Structure 1
Amino acid sequence: MITDLVEKVFHLSSRKTNIKTEIIAGFTTFVTLSYIIFVNPTILSQAGIPKEAAIGATIYSTIIATLLMGLWANLPIAVAPGMGLNAFFTYTVVIGMGLSWETALGAVFISGIFFFILSVTNIRKAIFMGIPAVLRTSIAVGIGLFIALIGFKNAGIIVENKDTLVSFGHLLSPEVLVATLGLFITAALISKGTKGAILIGILLTTLLSIIFGIAKAPSSISNIISFSIPNVSDTFLKMNLLGAIHYGILGIIFTFSIVELFDNMGTLIGLTTKGKIIDKDGNIPNLNKALVSDSVGTMISAIFGTSTVTSYIESAAGIAEGGRTGLSALVVALCFGLAVVFTPLIGIVPALATSPALIMVGTLMFTEIHRIDFSDLTESFPAFMTIILMPLSFSIANGIAAGFISYVSLKVLTGRFKEINFISLIIAIAFLINFILRLH
């Protein structure tokens, strides 16, 4: 009876898989992805969001969004608050622009509505396909560098210097030594293909932090396991919609939308291709349902109090184990539900313990740079501007804006008008207007 129901919902046989394989795949994805429970609240807490609420928002939004992707779109893809999107939320919007986290959440919610409209009308797919491949790639690479810089900063490896802007920190301090050792351990585990390498790296770095007196060891079982769920009352429905609209659609909402658009569509294409889930014509099954699920998940993430959710590339680990249907996504959601009881353990993890994870995520994102054609300066220069200005201006938005503006400008100045499509032109103009408005 249960087997027949599972088959009816997830169509296992048509995708040449079975229940056991899907369960193993789902657990593998969870282990690979679970570091987000530690990392996301750490980043959001720097925006002023209470950490307990951030933990709860991270877990609850992941559960709901992943269930939508699994049960409705029937895809083996986990959905959680995105790395890069959380960095943009905290470091660019809240810290950089000086907005409150409530206003930033308002922008996230409105971008979710925007995504929903674009998804049900198929415009979202058309926009993604109309943006130059070089800019799609360079945005991913630039976000990788930006995330890595945050990791180095949190570890104390890179510090502020009034003469040179930045420099090395005290390399022999306990914090830097522990973070550096954790980084090399994490890199070695990833190199060996260890399942859950990033999570293991965070836990080992936390253990080293306790040994060296940087963090406090749990004094009782209640510091590790809790039988009460995280309280999100401090963030639930606290988004400031009017504040976000007042600040300007062309600002944070537009940039949230662009970053999420590339991040999610690129991940969906890559994962379904890797798992050979696409049909003979190269189309992703239930693509519209997947995009709608993502847009609804984005609105839910704002309601609970976290930055935008997105499809996670770590789902590739589960797909490599044979995951082909939404059943594996259901398993991921169930695992995140069980993780609720371990939320006190998250409070023990110091910021430096998540630094190796940030740096390694940045490293993995940076590998996409090989897709850029450096022999054509009209392609490589916009890519360079996108990549370098994200970390140097400490703003993902500035990097994306510089990329589009320089791409269109250089193509025009070199007489290669035909290579500029309508989508790129509109985005470049929108970013230029946004820059001008910000000057006033």
Structure 2
Amino acid sequence: MLDNYFDYKKHKTDFKTEVIAGVTTFLTMAYIMFLNPVILADGGFDFGGVFTATALAAAIACFIAAFYAKTWPVGLAPGMGINAFIAYGVCLGMKYTPAEALGAVLVAGVVFLIISLTPLRAWLINSIPKSLKLGIGAGIGLFLAIIGFQLMGLTSDDPVVLVKLGDLSNPLTLLGAAAFISMIVMEKMKIKGNIIIGIVAFSIIAWLGGWANFNGVVSSPPPMTHLMTFDLGAALSASMVTVIFTLFFIDFFDTAGTLTSVANVAGKVGSDGKIKDIDKAMLSDSVSTVAGAMMGTSTVTTYVESAAGVKAGGRTGMTSLVIGLLFLLCLFFSPLATSLPKEIDAAALIYISTLFLRNITDIEWDDAAEAGPAVLAMIAMPFTYSISNGIALAFVSYAAIRIFTGKFGSTSPAIWVIAILSLISFYVS
């Protein structure tokens, strides 16, 4: 039955290959099961509730992709970067409650869903300059890095210089640093699942050394504390506009970029340059975000780690189905999640930040008008501790540069709309 539905022969694959591909992709993205609850808990969310919501949201999202976008061998789960924006920017920074933040995630998902069904999707993808997309992606990476440094204890606050070197005599900080190095070494050795292996291996050392508590491995899933608790009242207020736009922007363009990368590896780019069935993949992503918000977690998105499964031979939604089933199994490992020291979890954040930064080589560095706003996005996000500020400043500066260099007429209307909304956001937030 699966053979007929996914049409293995047409896609030059088979059941065994698809299963191996699914396991491969899962191992590269399983870290989200541990990191997402840790990050959102810092913003006031219930750790156990987020753990269960993460597993279920990821599983449902993968099932949607498997059976609707069935030619896409991708994994979906709550996205890194967006969860940090929710926790540290929206909840801690702007003082919104988890329910109000989930309301914003839901609205942003609905906006994404509507745009995915209209010609606006292609127009938006083609309207935003590549340099801004790359700069914003790198900025999110640096934002994750500074959070990772703080969680690991590599940095601490200082009233004079703002940030200084942390306490390097702390055994957990040293283990976190060693975990980061191990992840790099394992990647160099092409070991699949390097992030999750690094986290678990050095957590075991922490448990054996008596520096962290081991709470067990298996139990029944924690209750879904945030199920259907979203608050739309605040989400529809003027002060939330910048938050919703940021959530939409990150999810929309991250998904588009990820699908493009996966399509190149999977051979889904046609001779005309168009990507086959990208509309179904983006629609699956947007529906998954709405479902994730209802279950009580941050924005669900398509993972670029899906390329690992594609390289392992995955070519159909059967790969996504396997990933979803493995996320369901994670429901029973909440004690293990609570046993992992945050300093070692932080190693994964810092490692992931390096992945976000890799594409800055593609910025047009010889063109200051393109590179300048991209760099501004990069440095504004960690220094203002806000992804939305980085995006806003990048678009405002880009628009201003276009005006003063005589490029007003050749600039996409999308730039002016986003720049104006960004200026307004500074005054209503």
- The two structures have a TM-score, normalised by structure 2, of 0.97
SS at match of 1:13: coil
* Alignment partner, residue 246 of structure 1: 237
For the residues of structure 1 that align with 2:423 and 2:125, how far apart are their CA atoms?
20
Question: Of 203, 206, 218, which residue of structure 1 is paired with 2:203?
Answer: 206
- Whether 1:7 aligns to 2:6 is no
SS at match of 1:378: helix
CA 1:14–1:239 in 2, change beyond 3 Å: closer, same or farther? Answer: same
Matched-pair contact (CA < 8 Å) for 2:81–2:144: yes
Matched-pair contact (CA < 8 Å) for 2:140–2:387: yes
* Alignment partner, residue 124 of structure 1: 121
For the residues of structure 2 that align with 1:120 and 1:110, how far apart are their CA atoms?
16
Q: CA deviation at 1:169?
A: 0.4
- Whether 1:316 aligns to 2:307 is yes
For the residues of structure 2 that align with 1:286 and 1:376, how far apart are their CA atoms?
34
For the residues of structure 1 that align with 2:323 and 2:374, how far apart are their CA atoms?
35
Matched-pair contact (CA < 8 Å) for 1:142–1:388: yes
- Whether 1:53 aligns to 2:45 is no
For the residues of structure 2 that align with 1:428 and 1:246, how far apart are their CA atoms?
20
Matched-pair contact (CA < 8 Å) for 2:234–2:240: no
Matched-pair contact (CA < 8 Å) for 2:125–2:253: yes
Residue identity over aligned pairs, in percent, reads 37
5 Å-filtered alignment, 1:411-430, equals: 411-430=402-421
5 Å-filtered alignment, 1:16-415, equals: 16-74=12-70, 75-218=72-215, 223-226=216-219, 228-232=220-224, 234-415=225-406
One-letter amino acid of the structure 2 residue matched with residue 173 of structure 1: N
One-letter amino acid of the structure 1 residue matched with residue 29 of structure 2: L
> Which is worse superposed, 386-395 or 245-254?
245-254
SS at match of 1:14: coil
SS at match of 1:15: coil
For the residues of structure 1 that align with 2:397 and 2:329, how far apart are their CA atoms?
48
One-letter amino acid of the structure 1 residue matched with residue 35 of structure 2: V
Q: CA deviation at 1:247?
A: 4.8
One-letter amino acid of the structure 1 residue matched with residue 293 of structure 2: A
For the residues of structure 1 that align with 2:410 and 2:316, how far apart are their CA atoms?
39
SS at match of 1:159: strand
For the residues of structure 1 that align with 2:148 and 2:209, how far apart are their CA atoms?
20
SS at match of 1:166: strand
Matched-pair contact (CA < 8 Å) for 1:182–1:201: yes
Unaligned runs of 5+ in 1: none
One-letter amino acid of the structure 2 residue matched with residue 199 of structure 1: I
For the residues of structure 1 that align with 2:7 and 2:28, how far apart are their CA atoms?
25
SS at match of 2:185: helix
Moved over 3 A (4+): none
> Which is worse superposed, 269-278 or 57-66?
269-278
For the residues of structure 2 that align with 1:195 and 1:290, how far apart are their CA atoms?
25
Deviations 1:120-168 (A, max 9, x none): 1131232122111100111111111111111111000011111100010
For the residues of structure 2 that align with 1:160 and 1:125, how far apart are their CA atoms?
44
Q: CA deviation at 1:183?
A: 1.3
For the residues of structure 2 that align with 1:244 and 1:309, how far apart are their CA atoms?
18
State the aligned residue count.
428
For the residues of structure 2 that align with 1:87 and 1:247, how far apart are their CA atoms?
22
Q: CA deviation at 1:249?
A: 5.0
For the residues of structure 2 that align with 1:42 and 1:300, how far apart are their CA atoms?
21
> Which is worse superposed, 250-259 or 386-395?
250-259
For the residues of structure 2 that align with 1:343 and 1:173, how far apart are their CA atoms?
26
SS at match of 1:56: helix
Q: CA deviation at 1:293?
A: 1.1
SS at match of 1:229: coil
For the residues of structure 1 that align with 2:69 and 2:324, how far apart are their CA atoms?
14
Matched-pair contact (CA < 8 Å) for 1:122–1:288: no
Deviations 1:10-57 (A, max 9, x none): 122221111111110001011111111011110011111111101000
Matched-pair contact (CA < 8 Å) for 1:135–1:383: yes
Q: CA deviation at 1:217?
A: 2.6
Unaligned runs of 5+ in 2: none
> Which is worse superposed, 114-123 or 317-326?
114-123
For the residues of structure 2 that align with 1:248 and 1:97, how far apart are their CA atoms?
10
For the residues of structure 2 that align with 1:8 and 1:279, how far apart are their CA atoms?
24
One-letter amino acid of the structure 1 residue matched with residue 254 of structure 2: D
For the residues of structure 2 that align with 1:360 and 1:389, how far apart are their CA atoms?
20
Q: CA deviation at 1:213?
A: 2.5
CA RMSD of aligned residues (A): 1.3
Q: CA deviation at 1:175?
A: 2.3
Q: CA deviation at 1:413?
A: 1.2
- The two structures have a TM-score, normalised by structure 1, of 0.95
SS at match of 2:283: helix
> Which is worse superposed, 387-396 or 120-129?
120-129
One-letter amino acid of the structure 2 residue matched with residue 397 of structure 1: S
